[in-house]
Structure 1
Amino acid sequence: MLVRKRHPTAADLGLTAEEARLLRPLSTPWRIQEFLVGLSANFEDQGDTLRSVRGVLRHRRAHCIEAAFTAACALWLHGEPPLLMDLVAKGDSDHVIALFRRNGCWGAISKSNHVWLRWRDPVYRNLRELAMSYFHEYANDDRRKTLRTHSDAVDLRQFDIEDWVTNEDDCWDVGAALDDAPHHRLITPAQTRTLMPRDDMEMRADDLVQYESADRKRARRY
């Protein structure tokens, strides 16, 4: 079912009383971010997942796009559009963030195992500026800076709520739609060739993570 309301009720979104109880207090982007940080990390130990908002609230764990679904739903429940942006890296994991605006500027709600890829205050004039704020620290284990493109803002109101809010299965179709959204290059090929690798100090700082996994290398991906 498509829901187009600017300020839907919990019932409009198909939320249960318990789900609504968890999301209603998240009335600001700051509170949403704190809630997501408090969730455990989903390291997909049993295989790849793309859980809906319902799945996240049930399991109390999430990776970045699952957390972005949850943030977008909470924003929408409080009268803000449910917008996501896809950040695409070369030879590295992509990252998905939930978008919000204050005083005409963009900010982001984001779950990551690293401090580098989390919250962004709403001080960015456009989506390119916001995406570039992730550029320097977005790097792989080979010290290479990997972020290359960002998507347009994707409004989740174009999808049925059964596709990403209440889905009992994985939300692969919505994930594919994010991949297919128009993306914009952040740097040129010439600039790519002159990027400085991260140094030893930066790599040591990158070892600071919030959530530990039995597979340390896997833990670094989020």
Structure 2
Amino acid sequence: MGRELPVTRSLPSDSWTRGELAVLDRLRTPAAIQEFLDSLRYSADPVYRCPRQALADRKAHCVDGALLGAAALRRIGFPPRIVWIDAENDDGHLLALFHWPTRPSRRAGSRTYLGCVSKSNYPGTRYREPVYRDLRELVMSYFDEYVNCIGQRTMRAYHDPLDLSRYDHLNWERSDEHLDELIDGHLDRRRRHDVLPPGFRRRLLDVSPDRLKSALLGTSEEGRFVPKPPRRKR
């Protein structure tokens, strides 16, 4: 994961300021991108930040972080693709995908594996190594880590990836102006895939107190979703 890839500048370098380029040019691997996202303060602000604004503010929530991650991944040769995870009684989550090709072998041929970078208030729902064979396998690695602050397992679905390069006309890397349209419109309309078997929702167990304590370790209380309390059983 520490191997550097050739830098592919998708846009002229003068579209970023010198200060921005000084930061972005240091992010030469997915692991370095994730380390930078982890260094940003978690934002509880109910606004979307484009990558430029996130760099300026030095803070981000999951949407801001995924957009910044996608922009940084793009500069090292990966398509800027994001995937939305739906949750119930909890915040959704956004991932920025990258693929990692293996060396061809006579037995297995060549295969591409998926990983992702992300910004999250919860440590267990951040980076994933590129060891997953397909999108569902990658997304399902989040299921048991995806809990709200009262211990409910809340992940319910994911959407088909969105290729942000198709929306460069919205200037998503350097302007906040059209982010509502991009996230709440185009991303939200991607095909949705449920992750629970039919009728299984009520059978889900809450995580144990120890697991919940571990999940909340290092989180910002201000940034936590406030869930509705469970209904009392009669």
- Aligned partners of 2:16 and 2:223: how far apart in 1? 31
Contact 1:163-1:171 within 8 A present in 2 as well:
no
The residue aligned with 1:21 is 22
Alpha carbons of structure 1 residues 165 and 190: separation in structure 2 relative to 1, 3 Å: same
The residue aligned with 1:207 is 216
Contact 2:80-2:96 within 8 A present in 1 as well:
yes
- Aligned partners of 2:40 and 2:88: how far apart in 1? 28
- The CA deviation at 1:10 is 5.0
Deviates more, 1:27-36 or 1:152-161: 152-161
The residue aligned with 2:192 is 183
Deviates more, 1:87-96 or 1:142-151: 142-151
- The CA deviation at 1:67 is 0.7
Does 2:150 correspond to 1:121? no
Contact 2:43-2:223 within 8 A present in 1 as well:
no
Residue identity in the other structure for 2:41: S
Hey, which bits of structure 1, 4+ residues long, moved more than 4 A? none
Alpha carbons of structure 1 residues 93 and 66: separation in structure 2 relative to 1, 3 Å: same
Does 2:139 correspond to 1:141? no
The residue aligned with 1:3 is none
How many residue pairs align between the two structures? 208
Matches within 5 A, 1:76-155: 76-103=74-101, 104-155=112-163
Provide the secondary structure at the position in 2 that maps to 1:136: helix
Q: RMSD between aligned alpha carbons?
A: 1.9
- The CA deviation at 1:143 is 2.3
Flag structure 1 segments of 5+ consecutive residues without an equivalent.
Answer: 1-5
Residue identity in the other structure for 2:118: S
- Aligned partners of 2:136 and 2:176: how far apart in 1? 34
Contact 1:14-1:161 within 8 A present in 2 as well:
no
- Aligned partners of 1:90 and 1:57: how far apart in 2? 30
- The CA deviation at 1:162 is 4.2
**TM-score, scaled to structure 1:** 0.87
- Aligned partners of 1:163 and 1:138: how far apart in 2? 31
- The CA deviation at 1:206 is 2.6
- The CA deviation at 1:59 is 0.6
Alpha carbons of structure 1 residues 112 and 199: separation in structure 2 relative to 1, 3 Å: same
Deviates more, 1:11-20 or 1:22-31: 11-20
- Aligned partners of 2:63 and 2:177: how far apart in 1? 15
Alpha carbons of structure 1 residues 13 and 51: separation in structure 2 relative to 1, 3 Å: farther
Greater Rg by CA: 2
Matches within 5 A, 1:62-77: 62-77=60-75
State which of 134, 145, 166 in structure 2 corresponds to 1:158: 166
- Aligned partners of 1:167 and 1:148: how far apart in 2? 31
